[in-house]
Structure 1
Amino acid sequence: MKFAQQLNTAVHQPWANYYVDYKLLKKRLKDLQREHESHEVPPLSVRTPQPSHPAPSDRFTHKELQRAFFQAVENEVDKVEWFYMHRVHHARREMQELMERWFRLSRYAEFDEYPLSATDITHHVDQEKEIFSHFNADLSALLHHLQLLSGNYLAMCRMAIVKILKKHDKLEARHAGLACKEAVVRTIRADRRFWQADDLIRLLDEVKRFKWDVIKAHIRTGAER
Structure 2
Amino acid sequence: MRHIRLFAATGAAVAALALTACGGGTGAQDEGASSPDVARTDASGTSGGTAAGTTGTTTGDATGTAGGTASGATVTRSHTPGAKPDASAGRTSKGTGTRSTVLCNGTNTTVTAQVLKRPLNHMLLTVKNTGGKICSLPYYPVLRFDEMQWVPQADEATQPQAVVSLAPGESGYAMALLSAADGSGTGGQTAHKLTLAFQGYTPNSSGGPSATPALPAKGVYYDSALKVTYWEQDLDLISGW
Normalising by structure 2, we get a TM-score of 0.20
Q: Which has the higher strand share?
A: 2
Q: Which structure shows the bigger proportion of residues in helix conformation?
A: 1
Using structure 1 for the length normalisation, give the TM-score.
0.21
Which one has the largest radius of gyration? 1
